[in-house]
Structure 1
Amino acid sequence: MINGERKISRPLRWGMVGGGRLGQVGYKHRIGALRDNTAFILKAGAFDIDPERGKDFGINIGVEDSRCYPNYQAMFAEEAKLEDGVEVVSIATPNGTHYEITKAALEAGLHVICEKPLFFTSEEGEEIKRLAEQKGKIVGVTYGFSGNQMLLQMRAMIEQGKIGDIRIVDLQYTHGFSSTEDADKFSDAQKWRVDPKIAGPTFVLGDLSTHTYYMSQLIMPHMKVKKLLCDRQSFIHSRAPLEDNAFVSMHYENGAVGRLWTSSVNAGCMDGHRIRIVGSKASLEWWDSKPGELRYEVQGEPVQTLIRAMPYLDEQCNADERLGALHTEGLSESWANIYLKFAMAIDAKNHDDEETLRSLVYPDIDAGIDGIRWLENCVRSAENGSVWVDFADRPLLDVN
């Protein structure tokens, strides 16, 4: 159980790029990183494309005015001069900026925690991975839902053979908040998400389903996609070529099959985030709307609902428990869990502790690259008439 005691020798000096007053994700980063005040301490930031607004925001969340910078270049340069300068930076900016900021941060000697999808192409991902290795730094990806500990319960039960051989993977992440064109007109955060120059070659595939795809890989680390077929639509025509709805069929190397539905036009849907794994003996199902529950359905037996924090759960699941049974946990605790693991990974990297690095389950640079490659293949399939494509191929995409 996590009770706030330190997991590393001291809190990491942390900075943010983006995540200011108008951002949708900055607060999630901060509540994740600062939930355990023994893991990170926020020292600096370039919070906004508008320097004055960014500085005003930074001061209002407790950052010294002299360390609220007009842009990330100034922050990296000035912090490097300070004895207590930042050593890790989170990037909470639009997709099209991730690569250049991550590269600059690594070249400045900083560890990086970046929003998803990581970059536009897997080639960029491989380049950044090589740079991170050269610099001895960690690159983590904020798949914020993946810290829900019941996902680790699913992972453990699959490893233990509780559901038998996996046959079917059924994934969904949908909502209805972009069902009308008005959603693109009045929200700054939405505007860039439907602009290919900023968002990249996808909308809901990159914005929503990369979460769910990574979570499925966390649950089933030995299940690799062999080929996939993607059929995507732009029901709001002004969003084309970016999709607001997509269906992805997948064949896995072990013979299992999968499907994923992602949508921002599932009208009336408040929370359609679901993972169902069907085995030869039983099935497991998890919903984001009930993150502390896991359905375990054994063929021929009554349905069981496993509850978060109970002693019958696996050790790796309860290790991430925070509040105890009967007390609801949710997305903020999930973010806190992954940020704590980022901190532990960074501390281990700083001390050449490879054993700890191998034992940690968190979204690292390889997970980010895998997500990029999944998106590349989805786009390649859709643009070629929704055909099956080999996942091992390395497609080059024109993202301009």
Structure 2
Amino acid sequence: MINGEKKVDRPIRWAMVGGGRGSQIGYIHRSAALRDHHFQLVAGAFDINPERGKDFGMNLHVTPERCYLDFQQMFEEEAKREDGIEAVSIATPNGTHYEICKAALNADLHVVSEKPLCFTFEEAKELENLAKKKNRVVGITYGYSGHQMIEQARQMIANGELGDIRIINMQFAHGFHSDPVEMNNPSTKWRVDPKFAGPSYVLGDLGTHPLFLSEIMIPELKINKLLCTRQSFVKSRAPLEDNAYTIMEYDNGAVGTVWSSCVNAGSMHGQKIRVIGSKASVEWWDEQPNQLRLEIQGKPVQILERGMGYLYPEALQDDRIGAGHPEGLFEAWSNLYSRFAVAMEAADQGKELNDMWYPGIEAGVEGVRWVENCVRSADKGAVWVDYQ
């Protein structure tokens, strides 16, 4: 991938809903999608304020007539064009994802959605069934999974280098919301309002990220039951939590934990995953994403570096620059958007994808399912519940 040559026959005509001026996540979406020329931004409904959205879109070189009032107008008008959009990314508050995704699928569009996909498992399954019926790709932006060392860990585990998997420790615990910052920060305010954020805050916003990393690294593991306890240390956030612990038991006897928190005072990001086997352990920390820590019982610790020839070929295929140069979040997201593009083109051409994973509709469904089970356990008094 270092040379950035094309993976699709032509750029996919692409639009955004949300992600307008001042949106950090919108900028990440555009930077990732446009980097490899797999997508071309041709339309958008960027803002709830139409004039502001139009001005912003024009500053992205989108023609004025393709800067729309809302997503409904955009889907309707673009369907009339021979050069209409083929895919859309959803970068809006959580409570809108289900409606926009459903409308996009009914308009025969591919979708890239921020998580959560929706609020309930029932809604998630409805979207999954609709995507399959329409033969459309739905990508979920679990952006950290695009880091190459996640793929290295996946291959090491699959090849038995860790032995039998026993324990998975996960966390996403930063400290930036230790105080009620939402009082003066609109982008945080909606995240702690159940009307817009849904049934959880940090479980859905943070905890699902390392959970998906575990699903990529160890895809055969399935949760049997879990126990969750959650707290609102900033009391005004109740009933939504700003801290939660989840314990899980898997079908092979392994156990796992997820610490989800935004009140880990002093922590910059705090996302880590450690997979422990009978022979060795691996650990990845997103603040040092180009390294994977390997600890083999009875041997010195090894730090595996991104881009080096001793890694598995699958971990090298997404390299964008030689070893020693640090890659980061934008590269990881670009790797995912590249995969989304290949999957979308394959769907359009009726081709089967072989051995290529990406965070698709199933990942979105599983994230919603996990949060729903965590909330159910916590609301019953932090009790064990069967995974439903």
What residue identity is the alignment partner of 1:349? A
Q: Distance in 1 between matches of 2:2 and 2:349?
A: 23
Alignment match, 1:380: 376
CA apart distance, 1:313: 0.2
Matched, 1:275 2:273: yes
Greater Cα shift, 123-132 or 279-288:
123-132
What residue identity is the alignment partner of 1:312? Y
Deviations along 1:319-356, one digit per CA (max 9) or x if unpaired, are 111111111100000000000000000000011111x2
Q: Distance in 2 between matches of 1:152 and 1:102?
A: 28
CA apart distance, 1:273: 0.7
Deviations along 1:246-293, one digit per CA (max 9) or x if unpaired, are 001111111011111111011111120101001000000000011010
Alignment match, 1:396: none
Q: What does residue range 43-122 of structure 1 map to in structure 2 within 5 Å?
A: 43-122=42-121
Q: Distance in 2 between matches of 1:30 and 1:103?
A: 22
Q: What does residue range 86-235 of structure 1 map to in structure 2 within 5 Å?
A: 86-181=85-180, 183-235=181-233
CA apart distance, 1:22: 3.0
Q: What does residue range 281-292 of structure 1 map to in structure 2 within 5 Å?
A: 281-292=279-290
| 3-state secondary structure, aligned to 1:228 | strand
The size of the alignment, in residue pairs, is 388
Greater Cα shift, 21-30 or 200-209:
21-30
Q: Distance in 2 between matches of 1:359 and 1:119?
A: 27
Matched, 1:6 2:6: yes
What residue identity is the alignment partner of 1:390? D
Q: Distance in 1 between matches of 2:178 and 2:223?
A: 31
Displaced runs of 4+ in structure 1, greater than 2 A? none
Deviations along 1:72-109, one digit per CA (max 9) or x if unpaired, are 01111111111111100000011110111011111111
What residue identity is the alignment partner of 1:352? G
| 3-state secondary structure, aligned to 2:268 | coil
Q: State whether residues 194 and 239 of structure 1, in contact with CA within 8 Å, keep that contact through their aligned partners in structure 2.
A: yes
The equivalent position to 1:365 in structure 2, one of 357, 361, 365, is 361
Q: Distance in 1 between matches of 2:45 and 2:2?
A: 31
The equivalent position to 2:323 in structure 1, one of 318, 322, 325, is 325
Q: State whether residues 116 and 142 of structure 1, in contact with CA within 8 Å, keep that contact through their aligned partners in structure 2.
A: yes
Q: Distance in 2 between matches of 1:133 and 1:276?
A: 34
Q: Distance in 2 between matches of 1:268 and 1:119?
A: 31
Q: Distance in 1 between matches of 2:184 and 2:51?
A: 23
| 3-state secondary structure, aligned to 2:24 | coil
Alignment match, 1:20: 20
Q: Distance in 2 between matches of 1:18 and 1:211?
A: 22
Give percent identity, aligned residues only.
59
Q: Distance in 2 between matches of 1:10 and 1:166?
A: 42
CA apart distance, 1:172: 0.8
CA apart distance, 1:3: 2.2
The equivalent position to 1:242 in structure 2, one of 237, 240, 243, is 240
CA apart distance, 1:132: 1.2
CA apart distance, 1:2: 4.1
Q: Distance in 2 between matches of 1:168 and 1:129?
A: 30
What residue identity is the alignment partner of 1:317? A
Q: Distance in 2 between matches of 1:189 and 1:280?
A: 44
Alignment match, 2:35: 35
What residue identity is the alignment partner of 2:5? E
What residue identity is the alignment partner of 1:318? L
Q: Distance in 1 between matches of 2:346 and 2:160?
A: 31
| 3-state secondary structure, aligned to 1:306 | strand
Deviations along 1:184-228, one digit per CA (max 9) or x if unpaired, are 111111011001011000001111111111111011101111111
Greater Cα shift, 370-379 or 124-133:
124-133
Alignment match, 1:335: 333
Matched, 1:299 2:264: no
Deviations along 1:54-83, one digit per CA (max 9) or x if unpaired, are 111111121111111110011111111111
What residue identity is the alignment partner of 2:155? A
Unaligned 5+ segments in structure 1 are 394-400
| 3-state secondary structure, aligned to 1:25 | helix
CA apart distance, 1:24: 2.9
| 3-state secondary structure, aligned to 1:152 | helix
